[in-house]
Chains A and B, each alone.
Chain A
Amino acid sequence: MTAVAQPASFQFCGRSFLAFVLKPKMPTSEWIAEADKWLCRSPGFFSGKPVVVDVSELLLSKDEAAGLIADLGMRNIRVMGMLGTDDRLADPALPPLLSPVGKTEFQVPSETPDPQPLPATVGAAASSLLIDSPVRSGQSLFHEGDVTVIGSVSSGAEIVASGSIHIYGTLRGRVLAGADGNAKAHIFCRRLEAELIAIDGYYRMADDISSFHGKAVHAWLDDGALTIKALD
């Protein structure tokens, strides 16, 4: 795994926002007329607010889509993106195509245990995974987002996450946080006996972190240096 340090002045981060989603129906002229009636009662309701148009129930050409966006624009509805369509409507002149976030995957190589025993993804946000059983030797777990384990991670087990990793138990295996280039990922564990910990490709082996052996720790990347601090 490699990691490229980015200049501090140019940084990326992902944020989530709330937006109104309008779902026009065919024929669009009638739908616009309905919208006009509604806007008569609450003029300015949408002005200055982010709006996304869900076009999944429409069959539109690029021109028709541009017309719809313009019609909405005249009514002070600024469209920041379109939902529910494929590449057919991808055009620099049109708002960008969006897709809902929250696709999470729980993959385990076929030779190792299948997903059934481990997952207990209850009540967590879409991009975080909660596991309420120990992660056993030989199991490996890949997840896009944060991973929380209530239990221990055994020697010979491996967790790879694009977000942060929290272990409410003893960490004896390997954990790799921020695995797809997220330097802001953190690792927390109740008791550190890990074989390896890594954030965004920067790693430390058991021997490098022996002074923290058995302690509750927090690990993060400080300017490209994997930093560990005891929690108590």
Chain B
Amino acid sequence: MAQVLVVTSGKGGVGKTTTTAALGAALAQHGQRVVVVDFDVGLRNLDLVMGAERRVVYDLTYVAQGNVRLHQALIRDRRIETLFLLAASQTRDKDALSEEGVERVIKELRASFDWVICDSPAGIERGATLAMRFADLAVVVTNPEVSSVRDSDRIIGLLDAKTEKAARGERMDKHLLLTRYDPIRAGRGDMLRIEDVMDILSIPLLAVIPESEDVLRASNLGSPITLASPKSAPARAYDEAAQRLMGVDKPVSIPNGRNGFLTKLFGRRAA
């Protein structure tokens, strides 16, 4: 049974695209058939982070409008066989996507994949609501700072209101993924603590991704972090998140205050 997962946040720049790529790759590394879909029409980025920017011929808007077949637009990852990308258009805007078109594409993707991961654009407008519309579950990406948390709260409200699942009267599964967490700064009070964020958002915690320069490096290399540096702390946190999504029951690793310091001294050993 395919699962449609939307990666969303409300606020921009918190790590939705990075998370989409990392979770997609991690799930595929566990043998799942995964497609990552970029819904950010007009500002596409997922192809860059996946390292497929020079292979995009057709994109989501072509398929949604029925101009090309789905398999013509799917781009298979060169590193993992079971990972595919459906890119967004860079030249069109969000109005190029119709709800019926998106519904048809998602339905078709459900038939051939285990996971359909939708990378939502920032904001709460049409693009974001279309990305979440047909999802079964949501990963809410949040930074430990107040504006990001408030925007995530807003998005959670929309997930409970504007999705097909909510319209059917079912409750949407929502998971919190906290990115760019720095335990030392949280300890000093410069950053919200994990407990504070969870208290405000009151949804279950999927993973805490520590702040790390590896993430930026991986993005610029065009490789999901779980492929670029699989031993790094963020990659391991994303891998855990993927396993948890697959139903593996394991506690969430919380980066502790010594990590940043120890990793600098001893290489990336301490989790």
Name A residues whose Cβ lies closer than 8 Å to a Cβ of B: 112-114, 116-118, 133-134, 136-139, 151-152, 154-156, 170, 172
State the CA gap A35–B196 with chains docked (Å): 68
Given A114-B161, A152-B200, A170-B199; A136-B154 close (CB under 8 Å): yes
Closest to B124 in A: A138
Smallest CB separation, B197 vs chain A (Å): 12
Cβ of A170: which chain B residues have Cβ within 8 Å of it?
Answer: 199
Are B161 and A154 within 8 A (Cβ)? no
For A155, what are the chain B residues with a Cβ–Cβ distance below 8 Å? 150, 153, 200
Query: Which residues of B have CB within 8 Å of A113?
Result: 157-158, 160-162
A114 to B156, CA, bound (A): 13
Per the bound structure, the CA–CA distance linking A207 and B156 in Å amounts to 28
B105: interface (CB < 8 Å): no
B136-167 contact mask (Cβ, 8 Å, vs A): 1 or 0: 00000000000000110110111011100011
- Whether B161 and A116, one on each chain, are in contact in the complex, defined by CB atoms closer than 8 angstroms, is yes
Among B157, B160, B202, contact of A151 (Cβ-Cβ < 8 Å)? B202
B169 within 8 A of A: yes
Closest chain A residue, CB of each to CB of B169: A116
Is A138 a contact partner of B154 (Cβ separation < 8 A)?
yes
CB-CB < 8 A to B157: which residues of A? 112-113, 117, 136-139
Complex Cα gap A137–B160 (Å):
12
Q: Please tell me if the beta carbons of A137 and B150 are within 8 angstroms of each other in the complex.
A: yes
Within 8 A of A (CB), among B39-97: none
- Write 21 A-B pairs (CB below 8 A) sorted by A numbering: A112-B157, A113-B161, A113-B162, A116-B160, A117-B161, A117-B166, A118-B160, A133-B160, A136-B154, A136-B156, A137-B150, A137-B153, A137-B154, A137-B157, A138-B154, A138-B157, A139-B157, A155-B153, A155-B200, A156-B150, A156-B153
- The CA of A134 and the CA of B202, in the complex, are separated in Å by 8
Chain A contacts of B160 at CB under 8 A?
Answer: 113, 116-118, 133, 136
Closest to A139 in B: B157
- Contact surface of B with A, Cβ cutoff 8 Å: 150-151, 153-154, 156-158, 160-162, 166-167, 169, 171, 199-200, 202
**Chain A residue with Cβ nearest B200:** A154
In the complex, how many angstroms separate the beta carbon of B123 from the nearest chain A beta carbon? Answer: 13
Q: CB distance A116 to B167 under 8 Å?
A: yes
The CA of A155 and the CA of B167, in the complex, are separated in Å by 25
Q: How far is the CB of A191 from chain B (nearest CB, A)?
A: 10
A83 to chain B, nearest CB (A): 35
B202 (CB) vs chain A CBs: closest residue: A134
Q: Which residues of A contact B202 (CB under 8 A)?
A: 134, 151-152
B167 touches A154 (CB 8 A): no
**CB-nearest residue of chain B relative to A193?**
B200
Q: Smallest CB–CB gap between A31 and chain B, Å? A: 45
B153 and A154: CB pair below 8 A?
yes
Q: Which residue of B lies closest to A117 (CB)?
A: B160
- CB-CB under 8 A for A136 and B199, given A113-B158, A113-B160: no
Those 5 A-B pairs whose CB atoms lie nearest each other, nearest first: A113-B161, A136-B157, A117-B160, A137-B153, A138-B154
A139: which B residues are within 8 A, CB to CB? 157
Tell me the complex Cα distance, A137–B153, Å: 6
Q: Bound complex: CA of A104 vs CA of B264, how far in Å?
A: 61
Cross-chain contact of B153 among A114, A117, A133, A136 (Cβ < 8 A)? A136
**A158 CB to closest chain B CB, in angstroms?**
12
- Give A136 to B153 CA distance when docked, in angstroms: 6
Q: How far is the CA of A116 from the CA of B166 in the complex (A)?
A: 7
List, in ascending order, chain B residues with CB within 8 A of A116's CB.
Answer: 160-161, 166-167, 169
Report the Cα distance A59→B161, complex, angstroms.
46
| Minimum Cβ distance to chain B for residue A133 (Å) | 8
Question: Measured between C-beta atoms, what is the minimum distance from A147 to chain B in Å?
Answer: 17
A47 to chain B, nearest CB (A): 51
- A83 to B171: give the CA distance in the assembly, Å: 41
Determine the chain A residues whose CB is within 8 A of the CB of B161 once the complex forms. Answer: 112-114, 116-117
Other CB < 8 Å A-B pairs besides A154-B150, A156-B150, 7 of them? A112-B157, A116-B166, A117-B160, A137-B157, A138-B157, A154-B153, A155-B150
Which A residues are CB-close (under 8 A) to B151? 137
**B103 to nearest A CB, angstroms?**
19
